[in-house]
Amino acid sequence: MDFSFSDEQRAFQKSILDFAKKELQESTAPPRTTRERDKASTFFEDGFKRAADFGLLGLPIPEQYGGLGRDVIDCTLAMQALGQGCPDSGLGFTISSHVFTCEIPILLFGSEAQKSALLPAMVRGELIGCHAMSEPEAGSDAFSLQTTAEKKGDRYILNGSKTFISNAPIANLFLIFATVNKKKGWAGVTGFLVDRNTPGLTVSAALDKLGLKTSPTGELHLEDLEVPESAILGRVGQGSAIFNAEMEWERSCLFALHLGTMQRQLDATIQYAKDRKQFGQSIGSFQAVSHKIADMRLRIELSEMMLYKVAWMKARGLRAPLESAMSKLYVSESFVANSLDAVQLRGGYGFMSEYEVERDLRDSIGSRIYSGTNEIQRNIIASLLGL
Ligand SMILES: Cc1cc2nc3c(=O)[nH]c(=O)nc-3n(C[C@H](O)[C@H](O)[C@H](O)COP(=O)(O)OP(=O)(O)OC[C@H]3O[C@@H](n4cnc5c(N)ncnc54)[C@H](O)[C@@H]3O)c2cc1C
């Protein structure tokens, strides 16, 4: 077994960590800091632009469309570095949604005309993408969606509603899933690429939420929204294949972002345990404290191995449904557990916003819900075990 990365891969990862530590901290205009943006629920717009200029928005996109052409292993390393270096998890989440749930489907299923029209602008950050599957009545049971796409001549008319859509309030490109025939179930689900200015598309303001407050989330309402056949991504009925393919990418790369955040938390927590004195000694010298930190490290180690294994399998063209379900489940539970420990180990300071760990805790909780809830991951694991 070989767990090593090449010097080039390590240098690539370090360049992203250095970039994130330098350029993805403060915005030029208020609210400047991550804490202030979190409080005001404000997107880090210039951070997004800097990430585009650095090339992060084109990580897996081939050079012919302006991207870096990196494989899934390098994307995993890159997202890990982004999470470690950038304290604004909402920015990382927005980047991940843009790249892995909108660019990747276009790259994998788009026509040459769609790819060359959309991908270069997305890589430059001029187009912001989002992915609209969830509906008020169709969440975990995603393919029971009610949004319809009715064929009229060479056009499709879309009607329905979408909710919890990451990036929607700031997006100008919407990958919307609708059914061409409800009776067909998953086989009728079809993806459509829709411009924000299309008549019939209404996008809500950002929804107020528990965490990831700097990543705007919204609702869509589609009323007789008319698109040409050329807006279909892939083929009619290919929506479920698109969704499954992008979920595997997201379950590797988005969760690598969370792994990076856990590493940042651990470094800061070790330092805190050394510096903070009670009963005349560093709190890190109390076994109850040091064991919690050892457990945090252990969860990071296992998360990393699971994520790297999924990336390694995918880079070799192997399907990894069991491994990516287990990895999504374990990394997200670890993220929540480590964030809770990071708060607990700071005592009252951990509970106060000024010390920044309570934000990581709020940001971590959504990871158990999006990309398929952890209950659904357990269902997938069980069904792949023949249950
Ligand atoms: C921060 C955030 C960002 C998101 N971004 C997007 C996005 O960009 N695009 C998008 O389309 N969606 C997005 N979502 C939506 C997300 O995919 C759904 O919230 C998720 O799939 C769960 O659906 P639901 O919320 O309707 O919950 P439900 O499906 O109603 O589930 C409620 C509870 O019941 C459990 N449950 C349901 N069915 C089963 C079952 N069969 N077995 C066991 N337990 C079950 C669930 O695990 C959960 O605990 C986002 C969600 C969040 C929180």
* CATH assignment at residue 223: 2.40.110.10
104 lies in the same domain as 135: no
pLDDT (average), residues 321-338: 96
Pocket test for ligand 1, best of 134, 219, 362 (most atoms within 8 A of CB): 134
Nearest CA to 21 out of 300, 356, 264 is that of: 264
- Residue 368 in any domain: the answer is yes
pLDDT digits (tens, 9 = 90+) for 351-384: 999 999 999 999 999 999 999 999 999 999 999 9
Question: Among 128, 149, 178, which residue terminates a domain?
Answer: 128
- Model confidence at 333, pLDDT cuts 50, 70, 90, reads very high
- Residue 2 in any domain: the answer is no
**Rounded Cα–Cα distance for residues 178 and 143 (Å):** 9
44 lies in the same domain as 175: no
pLDDT at 41: 98
pLDDT (average), residues 143-165: 97
Ligand 1 atom nearest 140 alpha carbon: 29
**Rounded Cα–Cα distance for residues 299 and 245 (Å):** 27
Q: For residue 248, is pLDDT > 90?
A: no
94 lies in the same domain as 165: no
pLDDT at 385: 97
**Rounded Cα–Cα distance for residues 368 and 89 (Å):** 15
Q: Please give the DSSP secondary-structure letter assigned to residue 186.
A: G
Name which residue sits closest to atom 30 of ligand 1, judged by CA. 139
72 lies in the same domain as 183: no
Name which residue sits closest to atom 9 of ligand 1, judged by CA. 165
Q: For residue 1, is pLDDT > 80?
A: no
Q: For residue 39, is pLDDT > 80?
A: yes
- Model confidence at 319, pLDDT cuts 50, 70, 90, reads confident
CA of 327 to the centre of ligand 1 (A): 18
Mean pLDDT rounded to a whole number for the chain: 97
141 lies in the same domain as 116: no
- Residue 195 in any domain: the answer is yes
Ligand 1 interacting residues, C-beta cut-off 6 A = 97, 130-134, 139-140, 164-166, 212, 217, 366, 369-370, 373, 375-376, 379
Residue 232: give the domain boundaries: 130-237
Active site residue 304: no
CB contact set of 64 (below 8 Å; sequence gap of 6+): none
pLDDT digits (tens, 9 = 90+) for 163-205: 999 999 999 999 999 999 999 999 999 999 999 999 999 999 9
CB contact set of 82 (below 8 Å; sequence gap of 6+): 16, 20, 24, 56, 92, 95, 257, 260
190 lies in the same domain as 310: no
Share of the chain above pLDDT 90, in %: 96
Nearest CA to 184 out of 242, 143, 150 is that of: 143
* CATH assignment at residue 11: 1.10.540.10
CA of 129 to the centre of ligand 1 (A): 20
Question: Among 205, 237, 269, which residue terminates a domain?
Answer: 237
Of the listed 135, 219, 248, 250, which one is catalytic? 250
**Rounded Cα–Cα distance for residues 171 and 162 (Å):** 14
Q: For residue 138, is pLDDT > 90?
A: yes
Number of domains in the chain: 3
Question: Among 237, 267, 286, which residue terminates a domain?
Answer: 237
Provide the pairing of β-strand 217-228 with 232-233: unpaired
pLDDT digits (tens, 9 = 90+) for 53-63: 999 999 999 99
CA of 365 to the centre of ligand 1 (A): 13
Name which residue sits closest to atom 32 of ligand 1, judged by CA. 140
Ligand 1 atom nearest 130 alpha carbon: 8
pLDDT at 82: 98
203 lies in the same domain as 257: no
227 lies in the same domain as 276: no
pLDDT digits (tens, 9 = 90+) for 10-35: 999 999 999 999 999 999 999 999 99
* CATH assignment at residue 362: 1.20.140.10
256 lies in the same domain as 338: yes
233 lies in the same domain as 312: no
- Residue 47 in any domain: the answer is yes
Q: For residue 3, is pLDDT > 80?
A: no
- Residue 11 in any domain: the answer is yes
Q: What is the DSSP string of 207-248?
A: PP-SS-TTS-EEEEEEEEEEEEGGGEESSTT-HHHHHHHHHH
249 lies in the same domain as 202: no
0.95 exceeded by pTM: yes
- Residue 1 in any domain: the answer is no
232 lies in the same domain as 335: no
Share of the chain above pLDDT 70, in %: 100
